[in-house]
Amino acid sequence: MKKPSSWRIASITIFVLITLISLLNVKKGPGGVDCWYHMAVARNILSKRRIPLYADWEYYPVGRPHLYPPFLHSCVALLSIPFRGNVLAGGKVFNALMLPISTALAILGFSRIYKDPWREFLALIILCMDPIFFGVHRGLLPSVLASAFAFLALAYFYERNLYPCVLMMTLCLYTHLGIPYLFLLGLFIFSTINREYLSFYGRFFLASMVLFSPWGLHVLSNFDWIEFGFRLVRGDRPIVISIITVLGFLGALIAIGKRELPGLLALSCLLGFSPAFILYGRRFWAHSSLLWAMLASTPLYSISKGRKIRKLVIALLILILSLLFQPGILLSKMGVRKGWFPGGLREEIELLSGGDYSMLGEDVKTIVRIINSEFKELEAVHVNRGWVGEMLYVFTGKKTDLAMYGEVMDPILYKPVLEKIKYERPALFVFLREGGRYDLPNNLDEVHVIGRFYLGVRW
């Protein structure tokens, strides 16, 4: 039996370290606001014992079609069963598993593409420098999991290994409605540059779409509910200049000059990701870390060829940057931010000594206690932020008059929602205070300040 390479052992060691840190932080997340929507869907799956096709807990009393692919929500629901249906507990567990899952898929993808343990380790430790890669794994985001599935699909595509390639892309399609198509565009660009891949691309694309068709047809049948245009063109579009992006641009030049297929594959998929830069701003950076790691490894790999001491020095320097700081510049419409930024692995380790990074607080717990004790009979809670309604649905099961994402909505059918708010008695309002008290209706009988929120009642 062949002895495993020391660099392969080093990659496994990094993976074990990341997994251990992530599992030790299991009680501290998930962070951000998007997680409440995904846990709300998981709660609905448990209550209905099936995947919902209609989101009757949103835009009360009208509701709307539920079009978000169900893979992550189903995983959270399944993990919540041992906790007696507590989707917050299930969400915390799955949130802690997402970083190890992505890291494992990245390592497997690097190994399929490079088949060189040193090159695989090099790409992995470059990934460990990237704070964006670690940061996006704290929010229970399906797009993050979809990116990991798509990356492994990319690796199998490079090998022209059809069945696992289709499987990974199908999982990606059932996880997110945007990320798969960016990678599919990138793989199409790669296939047009390297035409020997075109026939394989056709079979891969067709098979993936056929397997996705049960949910894809549901989305298409409700396509008129999806709002394009201004809603999708939003967010800041920063330019990140870091060691990784500088090395990545150098790697792209080397790949073009030498027609190096792995580099051209990564570059093609980055080009495929360009619509995310235009439409979603920061999401371009949030979900392209693995591609940048591939490109950034190219010049360093060229320097290290044939010299073991060079490999050791390069590996040591990158690990130091991962565990300490690195220089960087962020250019955006909000200005220029420059300085020394913490390495990705450093930030993840620092979470061990930090507190809960979710948006939960005593104010939320107090409001939940009030709703569950004094307003059991109410069917819905009125809110001024979609995520607040999703969060309260997670803990109380109360429907909400808003929704987390506004891309799926029929403005005509929203009118009954406004009418319900106007005349309903009794009615409960939980408004985020940063929205301003003027948002609250004038005809309330009681208004209480509870931490970050106003709680208003109309009897």
Amino acid 409: pLDDT: 81
- The list of the chain residues with pLDDT below 70 reads 1-2, 228-236, 435-438
- The pTM for the full model equals 0.95
Q: What is the pLDDT of residues 215-235, one digit of tens each?
A: 999 999 999 888 765 445 555
Predicted local distance difference test score (pLDDT) of residue 279 = 79
On whether the CB atoms of residues 158 and 291 are closer than 8 A, the answer is: no
